[in-house]
Structure 1
Amino acid sequence: MDLILWRHAEARDVTEGEDDLQRPLTLRGQKQAQRMAEWLNRFLPASTRVLVSPALRTRQTADALGRKYRLIESLAPGAGSSQLLTAARWPDSREPVLVVGHQPTLGQTAAYLMAGADALQSPAWGVKKGAVWWLRHRVRDGVPDVVLVSVRTPDKL
């Protein structure tokens, strides 16, 4: 199973009294999302399930992809790795899953999958705004393994 973690692109800072879920992407964030979406669309299979946090900034990031997606309330800011993995049906999903979400959840999930349960006690790994981490679960000689396929940031495309 492939699990692609995509952090939302740059969003406007929250202002006093503003609902964090309603923060839009900045102009720079829109460009980041578009660049990353173009790269993803070159490599993502058509069967990829796209799961998106209900926050405006993640929806706008996912919109750049031009594919249907499903809003998942449990992926909102503050979600945990276990919620993300449950929504993605890790590692049993038959199709690749792209999750558009937030820090620190994405960094915690990457750390957990790559380094194990002990990583949950450490600070989350950094995932830059607009970046993608592509992970793959495989079984080799009867032993499950997670491979880091790619890490991309929009400014390096």
Structure 2
Amino acid sequence: MHLILWRHAEAEDVAASDLARQLTARGRKQSQSVAKWLRARLPDDALILASPAARTIQTVEALTDQYRVVRELAPNASVDDVLKAVGWPEGLAPTVVVVGHQPTLGEVAAQLLSGGQDPHSWALKKGALVWIASRERNGNEHAVLHAAITPELA
């Protein structure tokens, strides 16, 4: 399974509710930049899941209109919520993209890539993504870093 964790792009600080926060003009440019990079590499059968927050939906819509909104990926989701939503390590699909929030996505990356040894969250810049692949080696399941990209490098 390939798991792509994509943090939403820059959003406004204030809105009627946290879920209603919209992307800024800079955030729209960030999401378009990363979407262009991802589109060139993403398999056609990728499953794309987004938090119900407006800023994640606007981020993912820079990539495609073929995505599912998953309530369990809302702000403050747990690592277990994310891993269950994607079916890690077997996967709901060979490639799953999660468009979500910090600190959750950083916590997922830290847990998977450290083999569960790092209890902290890794900082993911707004609009950045981390691409993790699961693989079996010597009868054990491992996570490996496939790619990491920020909007400025996309």
TM-score range relative to shorter protein: over 0.9
SS at match of 1:155: coil
Partner SS, residue 59 of structure 2: helix
Match of 1:145 among 139, 142, 146: 142
Separation in 2, partners of 1:149, 1:111: 14
One-letter code of the match for 1:10?
E
Task: Give the Å deviation of 1:154.
Answer: 0.5
Q: 5+ unaligned residues in a row in structure 1: which ranges?
A: none
**Displacement of 1:116 after TM fit?**
3.0
Q: How much does 1:117 deviate?
A: 2.8
Equivalent in the alignment of 1:3? 3
User: 1:34-91: CA deviations, max 9, x gaps?
Assistant: 0100110000101100000000000000000024000000100010010000000001
Alpha-carbon offset, residue 115 of structure 1:
1.1
Figure out how many residues of one structure are paired with residues of the other and give that number: 153
Which has a greater percent of helix? 1
Q: 1: distance between equivalents of 2:97 and 2:139? A: 26
Q: Distance in 1 between matches of 2:39 and 2:135?
A: 23
Q: TM-score, normalised by structure 1?
A: 0.94
- The percentage of aligned residue pairs carrying the same residue is 48
Report the residue type matching 2:40 in the other structure: R
Distance 2:71 2:140 in 1: 33
The equivalent of 2:111 in structure 1 is 112
Q: Is 2:115–2:143's contact at 8 Å kept on the other side of the alignment?
A: no
Q: Normalization by structure 2: what TM-score?
A: 0.96
Q: CA deviation at 1:95?
A: 1.6
5+ unaligned residues in a row in structure 2: which ranges? none
> 1:63 maps to what in 2?
61
Describe how 1:1-150 pairs up with structure 2 within 5 A: 1-15=1-15, 18-93=16-91, 94-120=93-119, 122=120, 124-150=121-147
Q: Root-mean-square deviation (CA), in Å?
A: 1.1
Aligned counterparts of 2:103 and 2:29: Cα–Cα separation in 1: 23
